[in-house]
Amino acid sequence: MPYTTYLVEKGASHSFVAEAKPPTVTMPRIKALMTGSLPGFVDVVRNLNSPALWKRIIFYGDETWVKLFPKHFAEYDGTTSFFVSDYTEVDNNVTRHLDKVLKRGDWDMLILHYLGLDHIGHISGPNSPLIGHKLSEMDSVLMKIHTSLQSKERETPLPNLLVLCGDHGMSETGSHGASSMEEVNTPLILISSAFERKPGDIRHPKHVQQTDVAATLAIALGLPIPKDSVGSLLFPVVEGRPMREQLRFLHLNTVQLSKLLQENVPSYEKGSHPAPAQCPTGTAQKG
């Protein structure tokens, strides 16, 4: 993936290795990415606070998303993952929308979930000669999206954010669901012109939790962190901001986590920790 590699090594980006907790299968991993919660943490929709907060979202790809969030997408086209032997049509059905949707300005968030790479793994394993071709295809998709976002930024003062991630990894036999290193380690790359990078700035991928994505996106979008999120803010994403803002972001994350502890740990001593009242109402909703 030469274009992606360039962005990781020299572009305005931050890259991580995100640990996905077992079971390493799609539905609980999507919940972790979107809500920051672990399997068994109550109702996924309740964790999202409110459908209205997420503004206008467009989705194309694995229909699991549509089943999880049936009323959250302004527009969608779900693709069934049932036919594991198909690794071309499932992805073509996503990519065919790209040219039109990237030209439009009527959405706040675009989610694409490609299935082909996963299906190739199930068919013939991670060492299949088909893997290289599919990674090249995904690299071209990322380049198309990134260059489109860059051109749009000439018309608006606000930077865009492009997130590249996997919901789970793949074992040496091409399966997933368990807890081997190959199954739980997933790539996570955040790309934005907001991440200034000087020549020669070498950034080594840090190991983080997959649940950290939700808290980071919420803070970046000026939204409340999902109430059952156990994730932490990915600090490199905000380290270029003024110190006062950095402290405010960390405070928001700390208050949310302390509230979660109070509600779920009987032995938690409420009096010895910052009370949630210290966070002014509505602070998290300000950009």
Report the 3 state secondary structure along the chain.
CHHHHHHHHHCCEEEEEEECCCCCCHHHHHHHHHHCCCCCCCCHHHHCCCHHHHCCEEEEEECHHHHHCCCCCCEEEEECCCCCCCCCHHHHHHHCCHHHHHHCCCCCEEEEECCHHHHHHHHHCCCCHHHHHHHHHHHHHHHHHHHHHHHHCCCCCCCCCEEEECCCCCCCCCCCCCCCHHHHEEEEEEECCCCCCCCCCCCCCEEEECCHHHHHHHHHHCCCCCCCCCCCCCHHHCCCCCHHHHHHHHHHHHHHHHHHHHHHCCCCCHHHCCCHHHCCCCHHHCC
Query: Which residue(s) pair with 209 in the sheet?
Result: 19
Q: How many CB atoms lie within 10 A of CB 195?
A: 18
CA distances from 49 to 53, 57, 89, 258 (A): 8, 16, 35, 17
Query: Which residue(s) pair with 267 in the sheet?
Result: none
Domain range summary for the chain, segments of one domain joined by +: 2-210
CATH 3.40.50.720 for domain 2-210 = no
* Nearest alpha-carbon partner for 19 in 256, 233, 231: 231
C-alpha 237/C-alpha 256 separation (Å) is 19
pLDDT of residue 256: 94
**Look-up of token digits 């409110």:** 50
Which pLDDT tens digit goes with each residue over 60-90? 999 999 988 888 899 999 988 766 678 898 9
pLDDT of residue 41: 45
pLDDT of residue 15: 97
pLDDT of residue 270: 57
pLDDT of residue 43: 43
State which residues of the chain have pLDDT below 50.
41-52, 277-287
